[in-house]
Chain A
Amino acid sequence: MATTTGLDAPERPAGGPTFQPLSTGRKVKDRLATVLVVLAFLIAVVPLVWVLVTVVGRGIGAILSADWWGRSLSGVLPESFAGGVYHAIYGTLIQALLAAVIAVPIGIAAAVYLVEYGRGRLAKTTSFMVDILAGVPSIVAALFVFAAFISILGGVQSAFMVSLALVLLMLPVVIRNTEEMLRLVPDELREASYALGIPKWKTILRIVLPTALSGTVTGVMLALARVMGETAPVLVLVGYSQSINFDPFTGNMASLPLLMFSELSNPEAAGQYRIWGAALTLILIIMILQLGASVVSRFSAISK
C-alpha cells in the first residue's frame, strides 16, 4: 500500500527488443553445467543403491530363516547354516542404550549451556571442542577408553567400556541437534515466562526444553543410529562371544558389527551367509531408527 510508486506500472514497453538471445557459447555452458550437476547426483545414488541391493540380495535368505531372530550361535559349527544372531542384536542395542543413558543428559545440558548461558571464552572453547569431538575417529575414542579405563584405572574389557567410547561419539551429535532445536524456540515464549516471574532455570526446564522435545528426541535417535554401526570400539574394547551375555559389565559380548568382523575369518560359505545376514539386520535396525526419527520430528512443536 505504502509502496505505490510510479515504478510498477509503465505505460508501454520501452522501444526495441529488451532481451537479446543468448550467445551459443553461454547457452552451451549453461546446458553443460545442468547435465553435470544432475550427473553428480546420479553418481551418488549408484553406490547407495548398489550397496543396498547387495546387502538385501545376499542377506535376505539368512534373516528369513526361522532361527535368525530367536537363537544365538552358541554351539553352532562354523560351516553350519544354523543358529541366529539374537545375542548380537542384544549386544548392539544394550551397548548403544547404555551409551545413550550417559550421553543424552550430558549432551542436552551442554546444549542448554551453549544456547542459554554460554558467554565469553569458555562457551567459545566448548563450541569449538564439540566440533573437534565430532571429528574424533572412533578408533581414537576406543583407544582413549582403553588407555584411561583399562590400562591406567585397571578395568577389564566389557560391553560397558564400548558404551563409554560410544558416549564420546554420541555427544557431539546430541549437542548439535539439541542446540539447533533450542535456538528455534521463539524468544517470545521465554519472555512470556520471565514476565510471570519464573526464574530462568525453570523456564528452561518447563518451557524451552519441552518445546524442543521432539527435535531433541530426533537427534538422540539419529545419534543411536550412528553409533550402532561402529565397529572400531567393539574390536578394541570387548571380546566376541558366540552365545548370549546379558551382563554388559562383565565378560565377552557379541554385537552385529563384531559378529560380522569375526565371521570374516570363517572360510566356510556359512560365514558369508552370517555376515550378510547380520549386515541386513543392522541396516534394518538403523532404518527403523531413522524412520522413527523422521516420524517424531513431524510432531515438532516448532517448525524449521
Chain B
Amino acid sequence: MTERTTEQAPPQGPRDEDPAAGSATLDTVTDPGPARGGRSRGSSSGGRGERVFRGLTSGSGLLVVVAIAAIGLFLLVQAVPSLMANNANFFTSPLFDTRDPANLNFGIRDLVVVTVLSSLFALVLAMPVALGIALFLTHYAPRRVARPFAYVIDLLAAVPSIIYGLWGIAVLAPALLPVATWLQGNLGWFFLFAPGNLPVLTGTIFTGGVVLAVMILPIITAVTREVFAQTPRFHIEAAQALGATRWEVIRMAVLPYGRSGYIAGSMLGLGRALGETIAVLIVIRAATTPSNFSLFDGGYTFASLIASAASEFSQPLPTGAYIAAGLVLFVLTFVVNAIARVIAGGKVNG
C-alpha cells in the first residue's frame, strides 16, 4: 500500500509545475476515444462537435494574440502621421506642444525622465519591503495567520488607483513634507535631492514614487511569496540539519531558489508603475520648466500626460501625438513584462 501511494505521487507533482507533462498523458487517453467513436458511428456528430468546440476555444486563445498585435498596429497607424508632421525631435525634445495642429512640437524626453525616475524610485522603496513581507508570510508567520495576513496585503491591490491618488495628495503629501524638506536640506548636493522645478515640495516625483511603491507592493509580494513557498522541503531541511538558524536557512535555501521569482515579480511591479495613470496624474504636479533629474521635480509621465489631455482628443494630428506617446509606453511595458516572464521561466503566473 505505502509503495503504491508513493508511486502515484510523482505524476501529480510535476503536473503542477509543467502543464504539458500532465496533459500529454491525458491526450494519449483521449485520442483513441473520439477516433473510435467517430469511426464506429459513421461520419460526424461527435467529430463535428469536437471540431467546432476546438475551433471556438483555439479562436479565443488566438484572439488574445490578435489583440496584442492590434494594439501595437492601431497605435502605430494613428501615430505615424503626427510623427511625420512633428517639428521637434521626438526623442530628445522636452516640449509637448500640440496646441497648433499645423505646427506640432512634441518630444518625450521629459516623459521618459519622469516616468522612469518615479517608477524606479517606487521600485527601490517597494522591493525590500516586499521581500520582507514574502519571507514573513512564507517562513515566519504561524501557518494559521499566514493566510489572513496574505489577504490583507492583497487588499492593498483592491483599492482603486484614483483613491491612492486622492490619499496621496490630500493626506500623504503633507505628511511627507518634513521628510522631503530634510532630504533637500541635508542631501541637496546629490542630484536626486537637488531643488526641482516646482515651487513646493509636495506633489513631486518623490510623493508620487511613495504612492506608486504602495501600489506595486502587492504584486511584487504575491509573486515572490508564491515562489518562496515552492522552495523544496528538502533544501530547507538540509540546511536545518546543518544547524542553520532560521535566517541562515533563508539565505542558503529560500533566497537562492526564489531569486528569479523575486526579480520577475519586481519587473511586473515596475511594469505597473510605468503604466500607472490616474494616481500619478493627481499626485504629481505639472511643471513649466524641463526636468532636472531631481526627485523633487514635477511633470508628466507618459500615462498621466495622455490622461490629462484626454478631453481634448478631437483633431487627429494632436491626438496622434498622444497616441505616439502611448505607443512608446506600450512598447516599454511590453519589454519589461516580457523580461519578467523570461526570468520567471514559467514558474510564476503574474
Residues of A participating in the B interface, judged by any CB pair closer than 8 Å: 1-3, 19, 22, 26-27, 29-30, 32-34, 36-41, 43-45, 47-48, 50-52, 54-55, 105-107, 109-110, 112-119, 122-123, 125-126, 128-144, 146-148, 151-152, 168, 171, 175-176, 179-180, 183, 187, 190-191, 194, 197-202, 204-205, 225-226, 228-232, 235-236, 257, 260-261, 264, 275-276, 279, 282-283, 286-287, 290
Contact = CB atoms under 8 A, between A and B. Distances in A.
B interface, how many residues as a size bin? 35 or more
Contacts of A132: 68, 334, 337-338, 341
B245 A30 contact: yes
Contacts of B340: 131, 135
Interface string B14-34: 011001101101100110011
Q: Counting chain A CB atoms within 10 Å of each CB, which of B23, B164, B171, B323 scores highest?
A: B23
Contacts of B53: 201, 204-205
B88 interface: no
Q: Counting chain B CB atoms within 10 Å of each CB, which of A33, A106, A143, A283 scores highest?
A: A143
Contacts of B329: 137, 139-140
A107 B63 CA distance: 10
A126 B61 contact: yes
Residues of A contacting B: mostly: helix
A282 B246 contact: no
Interface stretch (B91-99, B229-237, B274-282, B286-294): B274-282
Given A37-B132, A48-B152, A139-B307, A229 B64 contact: no
Contacts of A235: 278, 307, 310-311
B186 interface: no
Given A36-B132, A48-B152, A139-B277, 10 more contacts: A40-B133, A113-B60, A135-B275, A139-B275, A148-B70, A187-B25, A191-B26, A201-B49, A231-B307, A286-B158
B26 A171 contact: no
Contact of B15 (A105, A142, A183, A190): A183
Interface string B59-101: 1111111011011001101100000000000000000000000
B112 interface: no
Contacts of A152: 74, 77-78
Contact of B58 (A38, A113, A183): A113
B248 A144 contact: no
